[in-house]
């Protein structure tokens, strides 16, 4: 008790910052983690300003707006996932969590049987699934089926037909989004089902064409 009586008032904020920093290490969901991180930054800012500990002050002045920005992104993502579940299968809301890549005509994004670790969202250009001939146009997604495949291997080959840009996100990032927003699982199920139904419809058309030729 005597120890705490001798402490300068601003040191209490330092200990609060340490405690909140430890708490963030045990948190599994991103939105609460960002909120506690912002509280941690605030505690250290008060401590560093009052105690003239300027490196700590500058560090937390930088981290506080970064955490606030990421918190805003996650809140927006949560809202948009909810809207997507209601019917919109666009991946525009996932762009902040993806990296941009450019492909030239003739390039292969992935081959059938390859180990799969990412999905692709088309921004521009034209892409084609070689085995089925299905075109993947801007605004559409490719590479999602392997995420739910038992062996997580590519089910088809994806080729760039016309140069364009693609947004890429890893399966680990997709899983993190699922952990943060369980509704995303239902959304992803609808997305993969749409591709499966598309493949089935194409097979039915081909079978019908074969019957017509046979008769």
Contact (Cβ atoms closer than 8 angstroms) between residue 147 and residue 176: no
Q: Map tokens 């996650």 to a residue.
A: 74
Which region holds residue 87: left if phi is over 0, alpha if psi is between -120 and 50, else beta? Answer: left
Decide if domain 92-214 falls under CATH 3.40.50.300.
no
pLDDT digits (tens, 9 = 90+) for 12-66: 888 888 888 888 887 767 778 888 889 999 999 998 888 888 888 899 999 999 9
Number of helices (H) and strands (E), helices first, in the chain? 7, 8
* Whether pTM exceeds 0.75: no
What are the structural domain ranges in the chain? 2-85, 92-214
pLDDT digits (tens, 9 = 90+) for 76-129: 766 665 555 555 555 666 677 788 899 999 999 888 888 888 888 888 899 998
Q: CA 122 → CA 125, 160, 165, distances in Å?
A: 8, 11, 7
């Amino acid at each position: 008790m005597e120890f705490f009586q001798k402490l300068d008032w601003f040191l209490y904020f330092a200990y609060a910052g340490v405690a909140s920093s430890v708490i963030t290490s045990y948190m599994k969901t991103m939105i609460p983690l960002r909120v506690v991180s912002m509280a941690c930054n605030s505690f250290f800012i008060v401590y560093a300003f009052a105690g003239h500990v300027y490196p700590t002050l500058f560090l937390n002045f930088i981290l506080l707006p970064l955490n606030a920005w990421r918190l805003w992104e996650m809140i927006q993502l949560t809202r948009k996932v909810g809207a997507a579940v209601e019917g919109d299968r666009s991946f525009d809301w996932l762009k902040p969590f993806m990296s941009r890549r450019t492909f030239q005509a003739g390039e292969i994004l992935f081959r059938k049987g390859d180990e799969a670790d990412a999905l692709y969202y088309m921004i521009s250009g034209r892409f084609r699934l070689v085995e089925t001939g299905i075109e993947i146009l801007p605004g559409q997604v490719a590479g999602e089926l392997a995420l739910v495949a038992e062996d997580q291997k590519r089910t088809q080959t994806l080729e760039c037909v016309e140069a364009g840009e693609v947004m890429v996100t890893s399966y680990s990032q997709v899983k993190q989004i699922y952990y943060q927003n369980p509704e995303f699982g239902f959304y992803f199920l609808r997305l993969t089902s749409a591709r499966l139904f598309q493949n089935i419809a194409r097979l039915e058309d081909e079978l019908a064409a074969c019957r017509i030729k046979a008769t």
